[in-house]
Structure 1
Amino acid sequence: MNGEEFDDLVHFFDSMARTSWLSAVHDTIKEETGSWEGKKVLDVGCGTGRLLLKGAEEAEAVTGVDLSREMVKSAVQNFFFHDKSKKAEFLIGDACALPVDNSSFHLALSTCVIFLLPEPELGLKELHRVLKADGTAAMLNPSPKMNQLSAHQYGKEKGISGFELTSLLKWANVSTRRHRYSEDELTSLLTSTGFHTIRHVHVLNGLATITLAVKSSSL
């Protein structure tokens, strides 16, 4: 993957982040990660910064990293528009080679990224590296239940239509072509990269999973 693949998709991803279904998932991620008060928070694959905006008011500082230069530009603009620029930094960078120092963050987020990586272990090792001791990683990945048929059925049940449904179906399509993680797979990957206290939260009626894990205080 390279950033230019996503440069022309800024409007699509920003609109997707504001859909009722993905915005609700972001709200759940914020709730499950608890208070960001006094914390330094990183979002790997931050897109246009919508998830970080959910907790920017209370966080000490937020940092977004994205492979796409245009996504980063849009995130900077969104934070400027919401008068949160002083708390935020956005960087162009690869999830497998993050341009940030070791042990820098209390919380590291990564939504819709790990399932795209050819070597997910590299991305998880980077999350581990940049977290402080006892820091938390929170990820969002499609589950084995995710496919276009099940996503369409979910949309029908929830009355989702138009762009909201189209974006969900596109995520389902990409998921089936890349990877869909079971809880056991996620637990195994995180354990092997030095995380513990792993827990999973189902969202979208089980079509996706929020996974939270803690970096050992001894590392």
Structure 2
Amino acid sequence: MRKMNGEEFDELVSFFDSMARTTWLKKVHDRLKEVTGSWIEKDVLDVGCGTGRLLLRGAEEANRLVGVDLSSEMVKASIQQFFYHELSGKSEFIVADAENLPFGDQSFHLALSTCVMFLLPGPAKGISEVHRVLKDDGQIVMLNPSGKMSQENAVSYAKEHDISGFERTALLKWSNVSTRRHRYSTDEMTELLHNLKFTEVQHHEVLGGLAIISKAKKAQNS
């Protein structure tokens, strides 16, 4: 499976920012923030931060916010976003590869990754890098398409929930990319996380089961 590069995403900044503001993805982001709990006094990393909208949800609470993305244009958009919200002093955005994060071991209390790991040729490599940069007992929280995700099921979900226009287009594009990359059942994701020395794995279905939010803790001394 071919690895994607930053230039492929540079032209999609407007699309991804609009997608992050769709009703359906905003609800997923809200649920994901709820799953992570409080960010007070935490150093938080978002791997594949896009335009930074997910990190904004806990920006007032967190001690430090760091976003990485393969696309330099996404990083620029995130920097502008946080400048606009007067949060530049506690945030940093860097062009970086999920498989080679430019941080030392045990740097973060919480790592987020939405719609990123499933795009990698080998998601385990990216998740392993997150494990490395997390502190002991640090948490990883990810959003990935489930085994139920397909063009047909996404169309049905959009119809059932009266999703139309751009919101429908964005959902169907996501489902289309998912079917060409990686999709995970909860059992498959649990096994992957356990193999990478994560514990206390939990899953939360979103979008009618088309995607799952997975949460796990880095085992101490692992």
Structure-1 residue corresponding to 2:8: 5
Aligned length: 219
Structure-2 residue corresponding to 1:44: 47
Instruction: Give the secondary structure class of the aligned counterpart of 1:199.
Output: strand
Cα distance in 1 between the residues matched to 2:104 and 2:94 = 13
The offset of 1:55, in angstroms, is: 0.4
Structure-2 residue corresponding to 1:126: 129
Structure-1 residue corresponding to 2:140: 137
Give the % identical residues: 63
The offset of 1:15, in angstroms, is: 0.4
Cα distance in 1 between the residues matched to 2:150 and 2:80 = 34
RMSD value over aligned CA atoms? 0.7
The offset of 1:30, in angstroms, is: 0.4
Cα distance in 2 between the residues matched to 1:161 and 1:84 = 34
Q: Could you list the runs of 5+ residues in structure 1 that have no partner in the other structure?
A: none
Q: Is residue 2:176 matched to residue 1:173?
A: yes
Structure-2 residue corresponding to 1:68: 71
Instruction: Give the secondary structure class of the aligned counterpart of 2:58.
Output: coil
Taking the TM superposition and a 5 Å limit, the aligned residue runs for 1:186-201 are 186-201=189-204
The offset of 1:218, in angstroms, is: 2.1
Q: Could you list the runs of 5+ residues in structure 2 that have no partner in the other structure?
A: none
The offset of 1:80, in angstroms, is: 0.9
Instruction: Give the secondary structure class of the aligned counterpart of 1:62.
Output: strand
TM-score by length of 1: 0.99
Structure-2 residue corresponding to 1:146: 149
Cα distance in 2 between the residues matched to 1:20 and 1:80 = 24
Q: Is residue 2:85 matched to residue 1:93?
A: no
**Cα deviation digits, residues 19-66 of structure 1 (max 9, x gap):** 000011000010000000010000000000000000001000100000
Instruction: Give the secondary structure class of the aligned counterpart of 2:106.
Output: coil
TM-score by length of 2: 0.97
